[in-house]
Amino acid sequence: MSRDGLDLFDVDHTITRHSTGGRFMMRAIARGLVPWRFAAILPWYGVAYRLGVLRLQDREDAFPYLRGVARDDLEALAAETFRERVRGDVNPTVERLIRDHLAAGRRVVLATSSIDLIVAPLAAHLGVRDVIATRLEFADGRATGRIAGRALFRGEKQRTVLAFIRAAGADARRCSFHSDSIYDLPLLEEVGEPVAVNPDFRLRRIAVSRGWPIIDCR
């Protein structure tokens, strides 16, 4: 990979073994920031994601259970969640790969549909400065329960990342992208070096048929 390209990484199930959002929400429930009844819907999100039927970007009010929570409290909770749970979820093989890229002078970017403030502590831990993520909307320092713009999911993630690559003066054909999910297929098809990391069964089938590198390191 050329030094003037970008090395992009998905987060959930690629860098981390589990969902950063799920870890965060369980901690928010335990801390009383979110009602306990919302614990019942978390498994549905996981199942919908794995089955390919999640349509998060179509929901204007995607996070109603966070409405009214102060940004400072959410950022503090994200830092705590990383220390207590997410840090132990980080895949050592992928972490070494990211650190090797950084040491070689490459520009590493986290590109995820997860929430920006949730993945910020992970990015800081890895030494990654660039994060492309879904953003929560805030008013007067408190969450509105809505997404600012659109969730970086499927085609929206592809469009946003490609715009970032162009703004950075890079060429997608000289970039790599690492992901576990069939949801990221549109973006994987745009870069010069698509890499499947612990891929789901649909992405694995495509990666094998096209001769893409596969990293299995659960």
Residue 151, both tokens: 């969730």
What is the model's pLDDT at position 50? 54
What CA–CA distance (Å, rounded) separates 119 from 204? Answer: 26
Q: Which CATH class is domain 6-210?
A: alpha beta
The stretches in the chain having pLDDT less than 70 are: 1-4, 36-61
Residues known to be catalytic: 10, 12
Query: Quick one: which of 100, 116, 86, 121 has its CA closest to 15?
Result: 86
What is the model's pLDDT at position 124? 98
Per-position b or e across 137-173, b if 16+ CB within 10 A of its CB = ebeeebbbbbbeebbbbbebbbebbbebbeeeebebe
Query: Beta-carbon neighbour count of residue 211 at 10 Å?
Result: 7
What is the model's pLDDT at position 188? 97
The letter for the amino acid at 25 is M
What is the model's pLDDT at position 2? 42
Each residue of 2-25: pLDDT tens digit? 446 899 999 999 999 999 988 998
What is the model's pLDDT at position 63? 81
